A = this chain, B = another copy of it.
Amino acid sequence: MPTKALNIGMIGYGFMGRAHTNAYRKVNAFFDLDYQPVLKAACARDKAKVEDFAARWGYESAETDWKTLVKRDDIDLIDICVPNDLHMEIAVAAAKAGKIVLTEKPLARNTKEGEKMVAAVEKAGVANMVWYNYRRMPAVMLIKQVVDEGLLGRIYHYRANFLQDWTISPDVPQGGPGTWRLDLEAAGSGVTGDLIAHCVDTAMWINGGIANLSAMTETFVKKRKHAITGKVQPVGIDDAAAVLARFDNGSLGLFESTRYARGHKALYTLEINGEHGSFMWNLHDLNHVQWFDHRIEGRLRGWTSIMVTDGDHPYLGRWWVPGLSIGYEHSFVHQIADFLEGLATGQPASPTFREALETTRVCDAIIKSGKTGKWVSLG
């Protein structure tokens, strides 16, 4: 049974505010942990809405100013679930106040901001993590484990896509709640920081660092109305991006993200090809992973669809019985479980701010290469 309460201060009540809160509420029922998150306070600018959110989700109190929240003595952990342009300021202040700091991905709008955040948490010596939740999909964790065990041998290729189709209509605005991801100022970049960042985070975690890359970026809809000001103004973000990359281990990388792939909603796919085997996975079928084992006798060799729901699969011993699926939200539960375990044992769960900064560096290189048309070295 948990012996230590961990008081959570949640900033933001949107999609991610809900996803994280759900994780805090579930984690101790399913995982054996020393720490127990306590929903102490939710914070957002709109008083009525944040009070409603707090009541619905069980937060003990509501705040309307994150600066106040950050100073509260009864808060142990600040969780940042607001648009990217606020990540740095909040994180630095929280670190200074000695709080544990978690932030939704990406770490920041760019490397410069990210570096300040890393410096702040490291100077303060506070635990920190970025919610790159897809690492904690059981299927993805299984890939990680098997690659680490060396079963794939030398790696030749890694490819990943994150394809969506929700901004095809020119009537989708930029800025404002729900569409801040189309606003360069709020988001820092378009699909690069939002989607390719996931691909890159998983890729480097599994397959190591990226040495250099060449990218192509595009903005298909050149002007959009701003949701708040109502003005039609140029779109500054990248609607689509594609990347050629070379990993430090000599393998080739290929990444693509777009919000203009009609028919795909949240199609994060990844594949790794090694000498002795390959894995493929996608988010639309998250409980399965495809595995090719070249060591199997020839006639019976093929792509095996592993349903990652058995008790010996990562995290699955905590849920139901074989054959019964989990969903998107469970990746957040796993991530906070790992974080709390790391907190207890002193082994921080990845990715820390420092680790996530590498992904932001790659994202910056993608944007730069897209503009210059040149290969960019990450060395």
Which segment, of A70-78, A224-232, A290-298, faces chain B? A290-298
Which segment, of A18-26, A98-106, A117-125, A334-342, faces chain B? A18-26
* This chain's copy number in the assembly: 4
* Central interface residue in A159, A164, A276, by most chain B CB within 10 Å: A159
- Complex Cα distance A56/B323, Å? 25
Q: Mark A5-16, 1 if CB is under 8 A from B, else 0.
A: 000000000010
Q: Mark A252-287, 1 if CB is under 8 A from B, else 0.
A: 101010101111111100000111111000011111
A220 beta carbon closer than 8 Å to chain B:
yes
- Complex Cα distance A179/B74, Å? 47
A302 beta carbon closer than 8 Å to chain B:
yes
Contact B246 A262 (CB under 8 A): no
A218 beta carbon closer than 8 Å to chain B:
yes
Contact B242 A254 (CB under 8 A): yes
Contact B266 A324 (CB under 8 A): yes
Please pick, from B166, B214, B329, the residue contacting A373 in the complex, using a CB distance under 8 A.
B214
- Complex Cα distance A57/B1, Å? 11
Knowing A168-B275, A286-B325, A304-B302, the reply to whether A294 touches B57 (Cβ < 8 A) is no
Knowing A156-B258, A168-B275, A309-B265, the reply to whether A300 touches B294 (Cβ < 8 A) is no
* Central interface residue in A286, A294, A303, A304, by most chain B CB within 10 Å: A304
A306 beta carbon closer than 8 Å to chain B:
yes
- Complex Cα distance A242/B26, Å? 39
A55 beta carbon closer than 8 Å to chain B:
yes
Contact B262 A274 (CB under 8 A): yes
- Complex Cα distance A298/B301, Å? 17
A172 beta carbon closer than 8 Å to chain B:
no
**Nearest-CB residue, chain B, relative to A254:** B242
Contact B306 A302 (CB under 8 A): yes
Q: Nearest 9 pairs between A and B by C-beta? A: A265-B323, A266-B323, A263-B292, A327-B327, A302-B306, A324-B328, A156-B260, A265-B322, A326-B327
A–B Cβ pairs within 8 angstroms, 22 of them: A15-B321, A19-B320, A29-B57, A146-B299, A152-B262, A156-B260, A157-B240, A164-B323, A242-B244, A260-B273, A262-B275, A265-B324, A266-B323, A287-B327, A296-B304, A298-B310, A301-B304, A302-B304, A302-B305, A303-B305, A320-B328, A326-B327
